[in-house]
Amino acid sequence: MAATTADGSKVVGGGEKSNVDEESKMITLFSSDGERFEVTQEAAAMSQTIHHMMEDGCVDDEGVHLPNVGSSILAMVIEYCNRHVASPDEKEDIRSFDAGFVNVEHHTLFDIIRAANYLDVKELMDLCCQTVADSIKSKSVEEIRELFGIVNDFTPEEEAEIRKENQWAFE
Amino acid sequence: MGGEVPSPRRLTRALSSDSTSYLPDEALHLVLAHVDAPRDREAASLVCRRWHRIDALTRKHVTVGFCYAARPSRLLARFPTLESLAIKGKPRAAMYGLIPDDWGAYAAPWVAALAAPLDCLKALKLRRMAVSDDDVAALVRARGHMLQELRLDKCSGFSTDALRLVARSCRSLRTLFLEECSITDKGGEWLHELAANNSLLVTLNFYMTELKVAPADLELLAKNCKSLLSLKISECDLSDLVGFFKAANALEDFAGGAFYEVGELTKYEKVKFPPRVCFLGLTYMGTNEMPVIFPFSASLKKLDLQYTFLTTEDHCQLISKCPNLFVLEVRNVIGDRGLQVVGDTCKKLRRLRIERGDDDPGLEEEQGVSQLGLTAVAVGCRDLEYIAAYVSDITNGALESIGTFCQNLYDFRLVLLDRQKQVTDLPLDNGVRALLRSCTKLRRFAFYLRPGGLSDTGLEYIGQYSGNIQYMLLGNVGESDLGLIRFAIGCTNLRKLELRSCCFSERALSLAVLQMPSLRYIWVQGYKASATGLELLHMARPFWNIEFTPPSPESMLRMAVDGEPCVDTQAQVLAYRSLAGQRSDCPDWVTPLHPAA
């Protein structure tokens, strides 16, 4: 028997609370631009930041506000967490999911890294940082600078000194 | 925690702005922590100041390839949080007794400058350096509680007093490596103290030292250090190790125990090796003692027979029972027959070393190894990555076969012994060309022949097909200075070169050096040295140190008579890239030519 409560959200059965559904233990997350995301507590707990908040009882009925994470990035992080708690043992599937997940442009990858850093999702941080590391491999200095749009701020003398050290002194 | 997320408009940034500036430092740390290859690390350290700083902070290990190439203070300034450091000292020739003890490579300045300030240092490795008891004491004082690995490889100058200090103070030690060190033995208490004070030891190696130890202390060590995986000792009768083997349950790697009473099998019947042993090297083992290995020969991954009394036939019999070997080290008594067995049996073999045996032919059954044995091994063991062989005979065809079948070769060293008067298939020009062209993964290469072994054309081939080889040792190669110059022109990636017993002049050596853009170290002994070495100044340039050891008095006399240099065996040239200026600790028999003193 369905009924509508005062705030307009639907409930099932009688007398159950609306926003925190006891059966699947959901939690609400709000991105910086105000969008609302429902996730299981289990998936949310992959973020150590949110996990600590839940443990410390800082999560109220409304949910968790994340002023540092935009909606598009938060959606991706949630997708990652959902996938990883769903079937943590299916290594092959997870590997191909991860490979597809990081197949994005650098600035998106960096935004995910920032979000994962803020939310403290270790596995996601490792995955993305490894991906960035892989993109550096076997590249020359100039290629790395170009890839990330980095400006060389060494003086010619400093750069020459480091090159000599690298080639002659320290491996 | 991170900073602000950029607003939607800033998300579409122009390619010219630095996207990684939006990465917090912790993330860049994590990215660089996943970068291991030395070349990649070098590139990362040059990208910009921020990357340089974070590369320095995240680099776990640094090797100083030659101790006189840089100052310790520079290492400290650049890598203040270094955890693991390796430093190399004397020229490799020191291993063959060609470098007197007072040559240099002192550990003292490095320990003095770094032991205390490197707060995170946990692992130190010194190779071919002069290390005193005081040096070890300073190291232990500063780092004792944190030290997990101490490796002194072919070092000299210290005593067991230093080892006692290490044993008492370094309770976190997992690895103590002393192989081939010259250590003054003042008693075996160091081992007792190590056994009593340490419970974490995983690797203990004092192989090829002359230290005397008590088997009871080894037993105590095994009882207290449950994680002991590798033990390599100086000589100690195997029958005294029964107790140790019983206690060392986790042991996988053992070398050094000797069969003192060859022929007395009953004495050694009680010896039972721990169940997981798969790396083994037993000294003085003879035909009668060999059966102790048979019960577990199929699980052996590494076998060292260099110090055994086995005949060719013994080798055939034993190796046929070892199909799972990855590493095999033997003397050339193994003969071509034994190598055929290796080729047939050891399909997983990655490393093969064939050392020279006693030159007294009476002790060796066969005439050493030749192209027949090497070809058999090449055909049978396709996974070989390392081959080092002293051969009595060799052909171009055998070299070509090695090239064809051993595509994974990373390190190849061949020495042609003087035993056989006639070696029919010289020069080896075509064979070496074929091998170098095929083995594209080769990084280290040694080729030591006899006059006539390689013509100038062959020497040119070596340069032309040197590819990515970084280290070479060449002996008795080429015919004239022209060969050397042509060789040098081809060596774009060669970093370190050792030349012995060659006919080249000083001028040619200098010009050759100037042709090799990646060369940072050259050592020469046995060449047409002048009395003063002044012709070497043709290669004088900034950051290039030149050190000269004059020829013998006999050669000087001959020069005075003939009017020109002859090939002298005593004269040495060492030249190397250095950011530290000329070294200040040369012995009086070494003359620094450049920079001028």
- Could you list the beta-strand ranges (E) of B270-406: 279-283, 302-304, 327-331, 351-355, 386-391
Residues of B whose CB is below 8 A from A154: 46, 48-49, 52
CB contact under 8 A, B46 and A159: yes
Residues of B whose CB is below 8 A from A73: 5
Instruction: Give yes or no for B44 touching A (CB within 8 A).
Output: yes
CB contact under 8 A, B19 and A153: no
CB contact under 8 A, A154 and B48: yes
CA distance B118 to B110: 11
Instruction: Give yes or no for B266 touching A (CB within 8 A).
Output: no
What pairing do the DSSP bridges indicate for beta strands B156-159 and B544-549? unpaired
Q: What are residue A40's DSSP bridge partners? A: A26
Query: What is the structure's pLDDT at A147?
Result: 87
Mean model confidence pLDDT for chain A: 84
The token pair at B524 is: 């020469």
Residues of B whose CB is below 8 A from A142: none
Task: Name the B residues in 471-530 with CB < 8 Å from any A CB.
Answer: 518, 520
Instruction: Give yes or no for B597 touching A (CB within 8 A).
Output: no
CB contact under 8 A, A141 and B47: yes
The token pair at A18 is: 């609306």
pLDDT tens for B482-532 read 999 999 999 999 999 999 999 999 999 999 999 999 999 999 998 988 889
Contacts A–B by Cβ distance under 8 A: 149
Q: Cβ neighbours of residue A149 under 8 Å, at least 6 residues apart?
A: B13, B14, B15, B16, B17, B18, B19
Task: State the nearest Cα–Cα gap between B113 and chain A, in angstroms.
Answer: 16
Residues of B whose CB is below 8 A from A106: 19
Query: What is the structure's pLDDT at B422?
Result: 79
CB contact under 8 A, B577 and A162: no
- CA angle, A123 as apex, A121 and A126 as ends, to 5°? 105
CA distance B464 to B515: 13
Residues of chain B under the 70 pLDDT cut: 1-22, 262-265, 359-366, 597
CB contact under 8 A, B74 and A169: yes
CB contact under 8 A, B22 and A107: yes
CB B341 within 8 A of CB B395: no
Residues of B whose CB is below 8 A from A32: 5
CA distance B428 to A33: 75
Candidates A107, A152, A167; nearest CB to B19: A107
φ and ψ at residue B72, rounded to 5 degrees:
-55, -35
φ and ψ at residue B558, rounded to 5 degrees:
-60, -40
Residues of A whose CB is below 8 A from B37: 137-138
Burial class for B43, CB neighbours closer than 10 Å (0-12, 13-18, 19+): buried
CB contact under 8 A, A145 and B5: no
% of chain A surpassing 90 pLDDT: 53
CB contact under 8 A, A136 and B35: yes
φ and ψ at residue B167, rounded to 5 degrees:
-60, -40
Query: What is the structure's pLDDT at B251?
Result: 97
Preferred mutation among B7, B10, B23, B76 to probe A, highest tally of A CBs within 10 A: B23
CB B111 within 8 A of CB B138: yes
Query: What is the structure's pLDDT at B365?
Result: 53
Query: What is the structure's pLDDT at B72?
Result: 97
Instruction: Give yes or no for B450 touching A (CB within 8 A).
Output: no
Task: State the nearest Cα–Cα gap between A24 and chain B, in angstroms.
Answer: 30
Query: What is the structure's pLDDT at B14?
Result: 39
The token pair at B19 is: 């996207």
Report the predicted TM-score, pTM, of the whole model to 2 decimal places: 0.89
Task: State the nearest Cα–Cα gap between B4 and chain A, in angstroms.
Answer: 6
CA distance A33 to B149: 53
Query: What is the structure's pLDDT at B366?
Result: 61
pLDDT tens for A35-72 read 999 999 889 999 999 988 888 877 777 888 888 899 99
Q: Which residue from B302, B340, B348 is spatially nearest to B323, judged by alpha carbons? A: B348
Instruction: Give yes or no for B77 touching A (CB within 8 A).
Output: no
Preferred mutation among B10, B11, B15, B19 to probe A, highest tally of A CBs within 10 A: B19
Q: How far is CA B55 from CA A86, A128, B34, B195, B450, in A?
A: 37, 18, 11, 39, 47
CB contact under 8 A, A107 and B13: yes
Query: What is the structure's pLDDT at A3?
Result: 46
Residue recorded with tokens 């070892």: B322
Residues of A whose CB is below 8 A from B27: 110, 113-114, 117, 125, 129
The token pair at A63 is: 């949910």
Query: What is the structure's pLDDT at B235?
Result: 87
- Sign of the Cα torsion B551, B555, B561, B566 reads negative
CA distance B536 to B513: 10
Candidates A134, A141, A154; nearest CB to B49: A154
Candidates A138, A149, A164; nearest CB to B40: A138
- Sign of the Cα torsion A145, A146, A151, A152 reads positive
What secondary structure, in 3-state letters, does B300-333 show?
CCEEECCCCCCCHHHHHHHHCCCCCCCEEEEEHH
CB contact under 8 A, B40 and A162: no
CB contact under 8 A, B31 and A126: no
% of chain A surpassing 70 pLDDT: 86
Q: Cβ neighbours of residue B459 under 8 Å, at least 6 residues apart?
A: B474, B477, B478, B483, B484, B486, B487
The token pair at B214 is: 């008590």
Q: Give the number of C-alpha atoms closer than 13 A to the C-alpha of residue B330, restricted to the C-beta side.
A: 26
Residue recorded with tokens 């490799």: B92
Query: What is the structure's pLDDT at A15?
Result: 42
CA distance B395 to B375: 10
Residues of B whose CB is below 8 A from A117: 1-2, 24, 26-27
Which phi-psi region, left, alpha or beta, contains residue A38 (left: φ > 0; alpha: ψ -120 to 50)?
Answer: beta
Instruction: Give yes or no for B120 touching A (CB within 8 A).
Output: no
CB contact under 8 A, A144 and B520: no
Q: Which residue from B58, B453, B23, B242 is spatially nearest to A118, judged by alpha carbons? A: B23
CB B188 within 8 A of CB B213: yes
- Could you list the beta-strand ranges (E) of B381-475: 386-391, 411-416, 444-448, 471-475
Residues of B whose CB is below 8 A from A162: 45-46, 52
CA distance B208 to B415: 23
Grouping H, G, I as helix, E, B as strand and the rest as coil, residue B422 is coil
Task: Report ipTM (2 d.p.).
Answer: 0.87
Is the bond preceding residue B595 a cis peptide, omega within 30 degrees?
yes
CA distance A116 to B83: 28
* Secondary structure letter of residue B4 according to DSSP: P
Q: Cβ neighbours of residue B441 under 8 Å, at least 6 residues apart?
A: B407, B408, B409, B410, B468
pLDDT tens for A66-115 read 888 999 999 999 999 999 888 777 778 888 899 999 999 888 898 999 99
Query: What is the structure's pLDDT at B597?
Result: 59
